[in-house]
Amino acid sequence: MSSSKPPTEDDVLAQAAKWQDQGRQVALATVVATWGSSPRPVGSQLVVDQRNNMLGSVSGGCIEGAVVHEARQVMESGQPRLLEFGVSDEQAWEVGLACGGTVKVFVERLE
Amino acid sequence: MKRELLDRLLEARAAKRPLALITDLATGRQALFCDNKLSGDLGLGDDRVGSLRQAIAADRSGVLDGDDGLFVQVVNPPLRMVVVGAVHIAQTLVPMATLAGYEVIVVDPRRAWATAERFPGVTLTTEWPDGALAGLGLDRRCAVVTLTHDPKLDDPALAVALGSETFYIGALGSKRTHGRRLERLRSQGFTKAELARIHGPVGLALGAKSPAEIAVSILAQITQVLHQAPAPRSAEAAG
């Protein structure tokens, strides 16, 4: 529809296709599970290309950096990854959710 | 995700078909479920297909049947908002609702109001509201808001909305105006319980004054009702 729309899940998937058409490597990240308070619901998506351009979100900005980092490796290897972020995780000390929730994020390459 | 599957998903979504994407989180294998058909490189048993239908009906993405190895992404057509009255408040409500993800349809038989210039990029209809709303096939994924202040236009729209399963009905007008509106609709045979579905005066009580502020109060109320109510069923399940 109109180009002034904000990034919805719809636009994330359409953007993934567009970027690939431009010859970019593309990975998709999807929130597949949440526990406790988490800023984005299950099904939320983020698309990222090899130049770290991104659209959408899987949190309130807390873990996107780490997800993008993982996405780069998924783009190279083609192996999907299931990531977990949260207070119970050691990663949380570096890149965790300040809100105290836990999220699982699935990262896959667009083939 | 295979590009071929993504293209099929985007195509089905553009055609407003409810669908689900199923992912094996260990292998990345995926299947698309749409129009009762599975495609892709992931096989699923018949028992799983029933669960997929339920997930689509509930509009809920998540793990399938508590099996945390399979993830289901539900993609339903967008919620719809029917705005009756191409008035100043509608000009601010329509872009806000679009931002919130609604597909918006503006209805006003007064051609001077319902112009593409006033409502760029929006579906406009100049049919009389009852005919227009009847033609839209209102379902539980629809909200209806009347903004004309004119009983000739608002009442027929409200009558059609009350006869449908829309998750939200709102009518602009003061308490007095709304009281008279309820009397008119009651004399048409609507019960008190049925009329209680109409939010009037429309919107949350924010003390809104300007058209944009009133639009905020309306969208806020619709959001509140949407998330307090059970998840609206998809068009597929409702049909």
Q: What are the residue ranges spanned by the domains of chain A? A: 9-109
**pLDDT score, position A94:** 57
Quote the pLDDT of residue B225: 96
What are the tens digits of pLDDT across the range A51-85? 999 999 998 888 888 999 999 999 999 999 999 98
Q: What is the ipTM of this complex?
A: 0.84
Count chain A–chain B contacts defined by CB atoms under 8 A: 63
Residues B200-215 have pLDDT tens digits of: 999 999 999 999 999 9
Residue of B nearest to A28 (CA): B1
Model pLDDT for residues B28-79, shown as the tens digit of each residue: 999 999 998 999 999 888 888 999 999 998 889 999 877 779 999 999 999 9
Beta strands across the sheet bearing B142-146: B123-125, B103-107, B80-84, B142-146, B168-171, B198-199
Percentage of residues in chain A having pLDDT higher than 90: 57
* Model confidence, pTM: 0.83
- The pLDDT, as a whole number, for residue A98 is 63
When the pLDDT of each residue in chain B is averaged and rounded to a whole number, the result is: 92
Q: pLDDT category, B233, cuts 50, 70, 90? A: low
> Which among A45, A9, A34 is positioned nearest to A97, based on CA atoms?
A34
Shortest alpha-carbon distance between residue A23 and chain B (Å): 13
Is B27 at the interface with chain A, CB within 8 A? yes
- Residue B142: partners with Cβ closer than 8 Å, 6 or more residues away: B79, B80, B81, B82, B136, B164, B166, B167, B168
Residues of chain B positioned with their CB less than 8 A from the CB of A5: 98-99
Each domain of chain B, given as residue ranges in start order, spans 3-75, 80-235
Instruction: Place B239 in a pLDDT band, splitting at 50, 70 and 90.
Output: very low
Confidence grade of residue A8 (pLDDT, cut at 50, 70, 90): low
**Which chain B residue has its CA at the smallest distance from A75's CA?**
B1
Closest CA–CA distance from residue A69 to any residue of chain B (Å): 19
Residue contact B61–A42, C-beta within 8 A: yes
Query: Domain B80-235 falls in which CATH fold?
Result: Rossmann fold (3.40.50)
Helix-, strand-, coil-residue percentages of chain B, each rounded to 5:
40, 20, 40
CA distance A5 to chain B (A): 6
